[in-house]
Structure 1
């Protein structure tokens, strides 16, 4: 199944020429997307965790027998958007607007190298695989293998950063605590969290959730393969410029991420639970299978999709922004090279 020929042979027989452009383009795209969608990331993380379950259950809740609060969670999609908006409002009101950007420091520290590594590994990997193992032709299988390799490499390299980010987002502070921490800003809080994890859990604490991250490689693989196919379907707009071309690119990126997320979302919840801090000095979630069984037993299978709406509200526009910047930087580099050679 042949899609398209690969770029010209590699510069040195292995790495493609201008391979660094994928690294720079991926980092820029990831940075911009993360900043724009940070509030939704905070909401998603809290909804995935059981530490904030009672607090956020009060949204739309009613008082049941014995004065116990019973959460009402209508199943409509509209309600989930309303719920997300309410949580954002409550976080801003109770913890200050800055709390909506909790974990942004380690997120940027993680996103920039993570996206750089992922786009670099995938963008160059598909060319290397095609040139050396498929007669210079890219196809769906080449894209699949390159995406899987990129996911494993990225997850292994950046897992400690995501552990710190998750812990920071699950740390609830009052306005006064946040105000007093202004000199530390985001990165100061990250240093404190790193020291705490190292002291309480040791080196292995930074690799919590790694098994779920490897499980999540399937999401990145589906996303890349689907993106390549959708991009080919909209290839008729390429070169036309303007709104039509960019709409095709945005749609391909957003749709690919949405579909991949819907298929693989439970691994996000499991990963968040595995990265939670110790509760009363004890580790509640100890492994991937144990976490899956415990979550289903205590909360039901539906909880495996906790925070899905907030997640989609974040990752779909994030992917659209990220891939557009990535493609834009690569095309800018191609045009610049063409002008120099003319």
Structure 2
């Protein structure tokens, strides 16, 4: 496909307008994007074009029935200027898993991987080299076909856009364990990276922010008895020296960072358990001192330590640890991502 990938270069670059020493997350965009259209029952050849607005008919089904999915990835630049991705095939597989659940046609692997690689090679100068910075990569698909009938669209658009970004979070966060709202339900789309999943999180998170918290820990939709995710991330709980995370299911996203942390933890000799963990168990562990750490894990933040959590009107502080699992695991992952250490797992993918 590489020989047939049309590249239309931007006439001028915006890169000289960017302050790479002061990057916010995901708000500055590169010169180009990849676009691929599904028309007449097939995905047409992708093309790379200058970054630009999208024109859609008001009856496009994305606006009415929410067929929209996305992925989150990063490209990293090492000390020698090499550009790397981290487990990109996992993102491709999950994109198609999400597509299938939302009745969106699945994308050919070559369109994703070769299109992504070509785009990043073109945008290599946009990949920051500052510590903690990276090029955030956002592949997404949505229904561009028109009509008010409640049915899947007949046309779709796949786009990859990129944004040089600094760190996602700074410092530790205080979270509220949710007792009323649910992120997802059994048989639903919680395991898909669907836009609507995130839209539904905003209001409960806003309520938590008004109470002095930065994020929400989601619990199961039935009795709010078990911990599931932290904000838009998977969540890990350390009780004594064991690291615990919930199993993936209909409600929980199969995070790339999550599965990487489990593998790295095992290689470091850290005891891990993948099982249901109840709110009661976490609260009891906080009370008796065996709760050592809580942290979120995801592409954007990698690892986000939780300093305290609130539940039923009571706040519980977590201890300040000199050698935390969170800091160790984040270091191990980022060392692989930035090509600073051996990649014994085979996760690093060279772009250029």
Q: What is the TM-score of this pair, normalised by structure 2?
A: 0.23
Looking at secondary structure, tell me which structure has more strand per residue: 2
- Of structures 1 and 2, the one scoring higher in RCO (CA 8 A, sep 6+) is 1
Q: What is the TM-score of this pair, normalised by structure 1?
A: 0.23
Looking at secondary structure, tell me which structure has more helix per residue: 1
